[in-house]
A and B are shown apart, each in its own frame.
Chain A
Amino acid sequence: MSARLAAILRSSLRLLSAAIACSACVALMCALFGVGSVSAQQQKALASPTCATCHAGVANSFRSAPMRHAMEPDGANTLLATHPDLTVKLGAYTYTVQTRNGHSTYSVTDGTDTLSLPIHWIFGQHTQTWVLEKDGHFYESLVSYFPRENALATTPGDQRITPHTVEEAMGRRLPIWETRVCFDCHATGVGNRLDVVKITPGLECEHCHTGSQQHMADAARDNFKTLPPSLKHLDAEQISTFCGRCHRTFDTVMRNRWHGPAFVRFQPYRMALSKCFVGNDPRIACTACHNPHQTLNHSAAYYDSKCLACHGEAKTAAAANNLQTAKTCPVAKSNCASCHMPKVELPGGHAQFTDHFIRVVKPGKIYPE
């Protein structure tokens, strides 16, 4: 970036900061006249910039992105608000999730004993599992909400548990590391030791753009030297590693010796198995198809264009970038993913998941690993 351009940008930011400060003053005045008093904390909040101050477009679209809602706090979840009385009977135990006045309560009873706990942490935007706290221990709820059935059922992976008490029926006690890892991928500010008081539910900018808080603070003082590490120059393999910290990499699956369709949900791992995946080709990177700052695109045509970037007949664009072209499909030119990325039923997950192992699927062939 030239020095002149940098100077223009800094000048623009100062103007923007001034405008924000004015807005803050107006808001402050309104607040003063409207309710009579504004706390010091509110004043500070009004004056403090956010990521959206400068990155309004991306910050705005990220508000509705799935990762922003990877976890939601009590009272912020529309699904529970619109399903105020969920119940299911599993074996000897009856589970209810009741929502009243924005607060949800998870209960389990065997008809004699009943255990009720408040839901503070809601994991997942569609399928939901709740992490519960009892006597200082964390538990994964033994039942989850599944949108396909619009009902509660056993949490995936917990089918093997046979509870003998309401406490055992309530949830699976989580080891300290599993709790930390769950929160680390579904919330911001977890670090190497979980302190639930310090976390922010869902993924904020800082989660992926490490150092953005510092950058924001420094930028407010006209210092633009402390930029978060750029992610723009990562190659496809590095992006897989980056996204795979939560979505799980090939390395992670191999190290843990995970096998079977339950792990189809780990896209970077499945993608690495694909013949067309190669780490130095940006057309196969996670971000070639998915913009993490936006809602998930469900249009088949959108993904067709991504496949055709390599497998299309018009090779000029690829050739111009010194990128290899690949065979064209002899069967179809649309709906590529429906054949080459088949949906796999997630065991116990009450949902199907797109297999990111891109391949020519042979009829009747078992789930490949």
Chain B
Amino acid sequence: MALPSFPNPAASARVLIVLSLLFAPWFAPARQSSSQFADIAARAAAARDQQNLPLAIDLYKQAEQVNPSWQEGWWYLGVLQYSSNQYPGAIDAFSHLLQLAPTAVPAMALRGLCEFETGAYDSALRDLDEAVAHGAANEPRNEQIIRFHLALLLAHASRFEDALAQYTALAHLHAEAPDLFVAIGLAGTRSTAFPADISATDRAFYESAGRAGYVFLSGDDEQADRLFTALFAQYPARLGLHFYYGYLLFPHDPSMAGDQFREELALKPTTETQALLALTLIYEGHFSEALEPAQAAYSADPNLHIAQVALGRALAETGDMKRGTELLTGAVQRDPNDLEAHLGLASIYSRTGNREEEARERKACRDLAK
């Protein structure tokens, strides 16, 4: 697929070339420094300085044939090929470098970007995810391009929550761009498509939806609310739009989020929406009302974790302690770090007078909330 116009990859590559000097510590000195190697390396550097990329690439390749353990050479070979849209070659260069220096996070990030361009999305996601986890996005000049591509890949892999977390970081950077809005619109409405893959007709919708989400993530909730309200009026039957706004509202106000989930369910009941509606009602203490959507969600997909937790809590709070305990215990076994399941168990043990178990669950909650 074509590279989205945001942010400009060539410019970013130039930035990365400049930044490569900052990453010099992981360039181990060349073990072999024959006069032949030294000569090629010097000519490669000169060609690079003169922006003669084809010559520089050729010379770095020659130098690596003479001295394959030369880390700096692999780095520049990768960067120069990335800048010249020679992605398979760049991937190969960065892979050599990462074999020699596994902690070379910028190489990992650049390999991820190259893999993205070749359509190797699983590998790209793995590389970019790991690179960001190791601080690749901490450098402000690299942050936008890395986070943007990571977010695209996360949404493509149906990890929409994680994608929106990356877009939140971009919104805080005020990185406004039409492609970014389209991408946010896609992730928000739970589409796995890339911006370049959607039709011109749909693009207008996703751009508007993404702009509303971007404004929300930037912190202007009132303007976002106006934009979403306008979208609901313009696209009354569009699936995923109310879910999207409800999902954004959920951490702030479950009541407002619940209204959006109800609107979505009126258009089309989906398991995830039912489970989230149940969870909003549980947050508000409306356990009886939570029972129906929780049951519907769990019946439709017993493997959906939040449906299991919501049903367990709703059942326990409305009288079926035994079944509630079973479901919540199962949820904790599946994910010991699930705060919601521990909260449900703490409530059950409190209400049944099991002080030791209650204390254990409350401690688990406090530990998770630290």
Contact = CB atoms under 8 A, between A and B. Distances in A.
Interface in B202-236: 221-222, 225
Interface residues of B, number: 31
B369 interface: yes
Nearest to A258: B369
A227 to B, nearest CB: 16
Contact of B365 (A184, A192, A254): A254
A244 interface: yes
A281 B285 contact: no
Given A251-B343, A255-B339, A279-B353, A137 B285 contact: no
A177 to B, nearest CB: 3
B287 to A, nearest CB: 8
A269 to B, nearest CB: 11
Interface stretch (A77-85, A196-204, A234-242, A300-308): A234-242
B284 interface: yes
Contacts of A122: none
Contact of B221 (A176, A238, A272, A279): A176
A277 B362 CA distance: 12
Interface stretch (B38-46, B161-169, B252-260, B270-278): B252-260
Contact of B252 (A175, A249, A253): A175
A369 B367 CA distance: 10
A180 B255 contact: yes
Interface string B326-347: 0000000000000100010011
B66 interface: no
Interface in A75-121: none
Contact of B355 (A184, A192, A272, A278): A278
B238 interface: no
Interface residues of A, number: 36
A255 B362 CA distance: 12
Given A175-B221, A175-B252, A177-B221, A279 B355 contact: no
Contacts of B366: 254, 369
Nearest to A279: B350
Contacts of B346: 250, 272
Given A177-B252, A192-B258, A272 B285 contact: no
Contact of A180 (B253, B283, B353): B253
Contact of B368 (A180, A254, A272): A254
B141 interface: no
Nearest to B359: A275
A244 B370 CA distance: 21
A344 to B, nearest CB: 18
B346 to A, nearest CB: 7
Given A241-B285, A245-B284, A279 B351 contact: yes
A273 B346 CA distance: 11
Contacts of B339: 254-255
Interface in A257-303: 257, 259, 272-273, 275, 277-281
B196 interface: no
B331 to A, nearest CB: 15
A244 B285 contact: yes
Q: Is the interface of A mostly helix, strand, loop or mixed?
A: helix
Interface in B259-309: 259, 283-285
B129 interface: no
A236 B256 CA distance: 28
B72 interface: no
A165 to B, nearest CB: 18
Nearest to B351: A279
A250 B365 contact: yes
A346 interface: no
Contacts of A242: 285
A180 B255 CA distance: 10
B157 interface: no
A277 B349 CA distance: 11
A140 B283 CA distance: 25
A181 B283 CA distance: 13
A228 B30 CA distance: 81
B353 A280 contact: yes
B125 to A, nearest CB: 28
A192 B353 contact: no
B321 to A, nearest CB: 11
Given A180-B253, A255-B339, A235 B225 contact: no
Contacts of B249: 177
B222 A176 contact: yes
B285 A255 contact: no
Nearest to B259: A192
8 contacts: A180-B255, A192-B258, A242-B285, A245-B284, A275-B359, A278-B358, A279-B350, A369-B366
What are the nearest 3 A-B pairs in CB distance? A177-B253, A279-B350, A279-B351
Given A254-B368, A279-B351, A280-B353, 14 more contacts: A175-B221, A175-B222, A176-B253, A177-B252, A236-B350, A237-B347, A251-B347, A253-B369, A254-B339, A255-B339, A255-B369, A275-B355, A278-B350, A279-B352
Interface of A: 137, 175-178, 180-181, 184, 192-193, 235-238, 241-242, 244-245, 249-255, 257, 259, 272-273, 275, 277-281, 369
Interface of B: 221-222, 225, 249, 252-253, 255-256, 258-259, 283-285, 317, 339, 343, 346-347, 350-353, 355, 358-359, 362, 365-366, 368-370
